[in-house]
Chain A
């Protein structure tokens, strides 16, 4: 017998399908499994928006802070600051020093300086604005990912979507409380700032308005433990969380949890210098715009470590430490879309769609055997192998199986059967016309092929467009359907033909078309 390459391909397809779908079907420990979408296993899906405008503001502020540092070092006296949406104006006492400052600023990448007497205005170049926005998003993704990694969930998904959106998917969230904790952890800005209390004016804080404070270069901040208490602090912080190297939970003498943090060398230096200069004054520990404590500085603090005490539980302190360690969110994020599915609902959905899949499939199988006899059995084998291949490829690609994806598979069964129906009908036609069996089969395949390819290629093109332009649900649908179509082209055209070739001599010998093709008795060729 000639080597039947079609059967070899079929054997390969069966092996491939079984091997890669086995881990998912049998729930084996090893091997890649089909990842179930959140709609099937339960979990939290969120689309987060990033307020990138805030990144520009922050960038301007940080430039202002370095100008201030520079001026202090050179003993240039700053008269006032004024911030707007995307620029800062600084007025100096001595007009002659402006040139010095201007030279310093023009070395800062992406800044544009305009001089007007003793006043300079700093804004950003277009490229710098874009870069800052871009960076804000990637930083936010990185930060959220770091935090969720430490939260202890299996494989959180944090991915960029579109221009400035972040997709977060958390499988395995079981309760509403757990969900809320995860959301809080994600959204926590965790922006730590050490700010000097404006001791000259602090006594007047309760009678001051925001704009008054701003005219002195100060801001009014709320106390974290008692919102009625206000603090007046210098607007530009001494240090921020970017110089933080570690944060962990500790306990104070009353055994209440607190967070200890450590600064890097640069931070420790700045911190040491500042505390050395400011003995007797207060230092506010500010987290997310709230003052947690404002101790008086007794002596120069070297070593670069500090504490944040507040009224929190151990779990809260732990989450906060995670947030601080993972870096702060430079820009605020907000929810654009949220879908949370409880695990029981997911299980219900799986049960319902599996029921639909199995019963629909069983009906089709019985029907095909009934209508086409052994040809129907061959078609059924092809369709079953098809199913294994789809599952195998999905697990191999690491694609996620969602509800619409499952519907895509269910539907694909119908279409995969169609390829076999077209072939069988063609073969019957040939046999009726009295063509010899082997020629009827080969011509049946040849003729069916054109129709199958024409239609399937059109559908794959359609699926490709769906995949490119569609969103979540549609994408999943397009993936499973195109996989299904490709698999069915292989199994229907190549593999089943191989089976017929294998049995050809027997079919030709017994000419029992009722058994083989489900045809009613008539004179054959």
Chain B
């Protein structure tokens, strides 16, 4: 089976302006959303406690709220259904430091009398740990961007690296715009998702870049726009297929992973779609705007080959004893 006409070169860049405007609008709407609405950060970052309770039968949410009001620890607590009507999640910004009697024990005592329940999960993160996670997550992200910048510059050119980074940031900002819009919890797994989108985005982008590089090296074509159109068209089939398979997997994770996976699976789901879009319509296009010159690149490559050949000539002369 084949999906795309292999010998046809689609004019992706011809419609560049439309996609540019679309990306631009989405990007800034996302930034606006994140700035205004923000994220509903999980306790991993803010510190606090999450208690997941499962009742036999429907959870008596009102009764639970009533009982929690009596405790100072749960003064600002929120109670919400989780996954099914039997299960609730109680969130409070409080945390405790005592080992022999902690907030989980307190919850158990408070909820006594609300029905037959089982405490399935107690997550408590102290404020200091939350700070540490935030700092560590952010520094891991920035360092990873730097590493990508360095490898792409080394293997391609700095213009490619710059375009790739812009594309990555584009993907991530838009994805988390969605996360903010839908009010999905932002927790440590979301950071893993964020980093995965980063990896996926760069993966897709590099596959296209590889083609661009190949066409520059192998064809005589001087028109960079045409080269890019050709590269994107040639990788079209692969990009779509891979995205579909990844999408399948992430979709099943999103559908069957349950609420506990939502912080991970939702950003992934959006990220795969945005990442695919950007690797087709944004990443390669951006290289054109960085002022990449095919002639200059070819000249550079030719010089490299020349230097290499010169070196080899010297070596062979040296080895055969002719100086």
Q: Footprint of B on A, CB under 8 Å?
A: 47-49, 162, 176, 179-180, 183-184, 186-188, 333-342, 344-345, 348-349, 352-353, 355-356, 359-361, 363-364, 367-368, 370-371, 403-404, 407-408, 410-411, 413-415, 417-418, 421-422, 425, 428-429, 432, 447, 450-451, 454-459, 461-463, 465-466, 469-474, 477, 481, 518-520
Contacts and interface: CB of A to CB of B under 8 A. Distances in A.
B161 to A, nearest CB: 10
B143 to A, nearest CB: 5
Contacts of B148: 458, 461-462
B268 A363 contact: no
Contacts of A473: 188-189, 191-192
Given A458-B151, A470-B136, A356 B252 contact: yes
B273 to A, nearest CB: 13
Given A183-B100, A428-B6, A454-B209, 20 more contacts: A335-B96, A335-B98, A336-B126, A336-B128, A339-B123, A345-B52, A359-B252, A360-B248, A410-B249, A414-B250, A418-B203, A451-B210, A455-B203, A458-B148, A458-B151, A458-B206, A459-B199, A465-B143, A469-B136, A474-B192
A418 B245 contact: yes
B248 A341 contact: no
A471 B97 contact: no
B125 interface: yes
Interface in B131-183: 132-133, 136-137, 139-140, 143-144, 147-148, 151-152, 155
A411 B268 contact: yes
Contacts of B234: 429
Contact of B249 (A403, A413, A429, A474): A413
Contacts of B258: 348-349, 352
Which 8 residue pairs across A and B have the least CB separation, nearest first? A187-B99, A414-B246, A360-B249, A451-B210, A469-B140, A334-B97, A345-B120, A455-B206
Given A337-B126, A364-B248, A183 B136 contact: no
A149 to B, nearest CB: 18
A477 B210 contact: no
Given A455-B207, A462-B202, A425 B237 contact: yes
B248 A367 contact: yes
A293 B105 CA distance: 30
A361 to B, nearest CB: 8
Given A342-B118, A342-B120, A407-B261, A352 B98 contact: no
28 contacts: A176-B108, A176-B119, A180-B101, A187-B100, A333-B99, A335-B99, A336-B126, A337-B124, A339-B122, A339-B124, A356-B252, A360-B248, A407-B261, A410-B250, A414-B249, A414-B250, A415-B203, A415-B246, A451-B206, A458-B203, A462-B144, A462-B199, A465-B144, A469-B140, A469-B143, A477-B196, A481-B199, A520-B2
Given A462-B144, A462-B148, A471-B136, A337 B242 contact: no
A462 B195 contact: yes
A462 B139 contact: no
B77 interface: no
B241 to A, nearest CB: 5
A162 B129 CA distance: 11
A484 to B, nearest CB: 11
Interface string B6-48: 1100000000000000000000000000000000000000000
Contacts of B322: none
Interface of B: 1-2, 6-7, 52, 54, 96-102, 104-105, 108, 118-126, 128-129, 132-133, 136-137, 139-140, 143-144, 147-148, 151-152, 155, 188-189, 191-192, 195-196, 198-200, 202-203, 206-207, 209-211, 214, 234-235, 237-238, 241-242, 244-246, 248-253, 255-258, 260-261, 264-265, 268
Contacts of A472: 188
Contacts of B147: 458, 461-462, 465
A165 to B, nearest CB: 9
Contacts of A459: 199, 202-203
B129 A337 contact: yes
Nearest to A462: B144
A411 B122 CA distance: 28
Contacts of A429: 6, 234
Which residue, of A49, A335, A408, has the highest number of chain B Cβ atoms within 10 A?
A335
Contacts of A470: 136-137, 140
Contacts of B264: 404, 407
A408 B7 CA distance: 36
Contacts of B249: 356, 360-361, 363-364, 410-411, 413-414
Which residue, of B105, B189, B192, has the highest number of chain A Cβ atoms within 10 A?
B192
Given A339-B122, A345-B121, A411-B196, A466 B144 contact: yes
B119 A352 contact: no
A188 B7 CA distance: 74
B16 to A, nearest CB: 24
Contacts of B209: 454
A364 B253 CA distance: 14
B140 A364 contact: no
A49 to B, nearest CB: 8
Contacts of B143: 465, 469
Nearest to A162: B132
Given A371-B241, A421-B238, A466 B195 contact: yes
A414 B102 CA distance: 42
Contacts of B6: 428-429, 432
Given A356-B253, A457-B151, A364 B245 contact: yes
Contact of A183 (B99, B123, B137): B99
A454 B189 contact: no
Contacts of A407: 189, 192, 253, 257, 261, 264-265
B202 to A, nearest CB: 6
Contacts of A408: 192, 196
A334 B99 contact: yes
Contacts of A184: 99-100
A156 to B, nearest CB: 15
A387 to B, nearest CB: 13
Given A404-B264, A455-B202, A473-B188, A411 B250 contact: yes
A24 B144 CA distance: 33
Nearest to A413: B249
Nearest to A407: B264
B139 A371 contact: no
A353 B257 contact: yes
